[in-house]
Amino acid sequence: MSTVLQYGFVVSLELYAFGALCSLLFSSRGREATASTFSHFFAACGALTGLVFALAVIFSGSVVDLHAGAIGLAQNVLTFHVDGLAAFFIATISTVALAASVYGIAYQKQFLGVYRLGHFGFFYNTFLAGMLAVIAADNGIMFLFAWEAMAVGSYFLVAFERHDCLIIVL
């Protein structure tokens, strides 16, 4: 239980980051199905890890503080704080993300060859990681970074099916 409390949140964010990077790695036209599968698989794993972490925090009644180290002069920028209320919202987000990721594997097959699914997977995982980071941010700077990651990911997910929107191709 203590291992889940200590590493669960970070592992969830790392799985989202790995899913985003794998999506970009396999984003060429010939490997879009692989990119879509990897992005949704790692998003589902990140959501499942986040759900287990949140339930562990809720049922143990503990509070988790994470400090990711110093960045130059900013000593406490990358800090997260997860208490019972934050864990409830992490569990809610993770449950919906798990369902959407499992459904998304089959749903995305209709877009093969039409849209760049690797780019979708990148923004999908970025959006999910941003939502978890917004909930757990312990200071204003971290909250703003997480909010911007969530907002940018959300914009590109909404604009994904629209041909008249400006979509930046990575």
What does the domain layout of the chain look like in residue ranges? 2-161
pTM reported for the whole predicted model: 0.88
pLDDT for 7: 86
* DSSP-assigned letter for residue 160: G
- Residue 107 scores a pLDDT above 90: no
Question: Which span out of 17-31, 59-73, 117-131 was modeled with the highest average pLDDT?
Answer: 117-131
- Residue 77 scores a pLDDT above 80: no
pLDDT for 141: 87
Which residues neighbour 51 within 8 Å (Cβ) at sequence distance 6 or greater?
A: 90, 91, 94, 95, 98
Answer with the residue of higher pLDDT: 73 or 95.
95
pLDDT for 159: 84
Quickly list H helices, the chain.
2-25, 32-60, 84-107, 117-136, 140-158
